[in-house]
Amino acid sequence: MKREQLRVYFIMGSTHVKLREPLSILEQALDAGITMFQFREKGSGALKGQAYESFARECQQRCRSYGVPFIVNDDIDLALKLDADGVHVGQEDAALPEVRQKMGSDKIVGVSVHSMHELEEAISYQADYVGIGPIFATKSKDDAKKPAGTVFLRQAAERAPDLPIVAIGGITEHNFQEPLEAGADGVAVISAICESGDVAETVRRFKR
């Protein structure tokens, strides 16, 4: 993958968008130029079974028509079934060697890291990118850790200058410069886009 693809990484599930139609938000975000999309359907009220898979396929079709990578959160079986462009896993999900073996060398494998030890593991198991956060406080993840600021992000960017890094957690159009200045290649956001009154304008601001 190219690190530019992390620039505006939109993450969405149906539970994040309340009343508004999630596919319409995704279409607006794609049209405005998001560079990567992660399907993250989890938490209370999340779709299950056939509805879950159908919704994933609907999202994937839209990403395909814009040539934007479609990444699946956690669910490697779904990623394989749909021939997704990649997966993103946390430290509590399947171990990286197993994820890589199942996905194959051509797919994108991203992992969340919170410490130097986890970063070293991500490097040695050839993750394609790492996610670092939460940078700021977030409402979008039930089990999110405390906001970490940009200290570790900066250290990680220095330690691994060739590894693409995306910052996550509480990032908005008003604070996104801070993680970029600390060394992130881009920002991953849920609520900043899902709750925006003007999705297209929000995405454009992240690209400026």
Q: Which residues are annotated as a binding site?
A: 38-42, 73-74, 93, 112, 138-141, 170, 190-191
Least distance to ligand TZP, CB of residue 2, Å? 22
For residue 44, indicate whether it is catalytic. no
Could you say whether residue 133 binds ligand TZP (CB under 6 A)? yes
For residue 112, indicate whether it is catalytic. yes
Measure the CA–CA gap between 113 and 54, rounded to whole angstroms. 30
Is the distance from CB of 163 to CB of 122 less than 8 angstroms? yes
Could you say whether residue 196 binds ligand TZP (CB under 6 A)? no
Measure the CA–CA gap between 41 and 23, rounded to whole angstroms. 13
CB contact set of 107 (below 8 Å; sequence gap of 6+): 79, 84, 85, 86, 87
Window 73-102: contact mask with ligand TZP (x via CB under 6 A): ------------------------------
Could you say whether residue 93 binds Mg ion (CB under 5 A)? yes
- By three-state DSSP, how is residue 10 classified? strand
Could you say whether residue 53 binds Mg ion (CB under 5 A)? no
Could you say whether residue 33 binds Mg ion (CB under 5 A)? no
Q: Tell me which of ligand TZP, Mg ion, none is bound by residue 190, counting a contact when its beta carbon lies within the kind-specific cut-off of 5 to 8 angstroms.
A: ligand TZP
Measure the CA–CA gap between 117 and 115, rounded to whole angstroms. 5
CB nearer to ligand TZP: give 96 or 194: 194
Q: What angle do CA 169, 34, 204 make, to 5 degrees?
A: 90
For residue 40, indicate whether it is catalytic. yes
Measure the CA–CA gap between 89 and 166, rounded to whole angstroms. 14
Of these residues, 40, 62, 100, 107, which one is catalytic?
40
Using alpha carbons, select from 192, 90, 84, 178 the residue that is nearest to residue 135.
178
**Which residues are at the interface with ligand TZP (CB under 6 A)?**
133-134, 138, 140-141, 144, 168-171, 189-192
Residues with catalytic function: 40, 112, 141
Positions that interact with Mg ion (CB under 5 A):
74, 90, 93
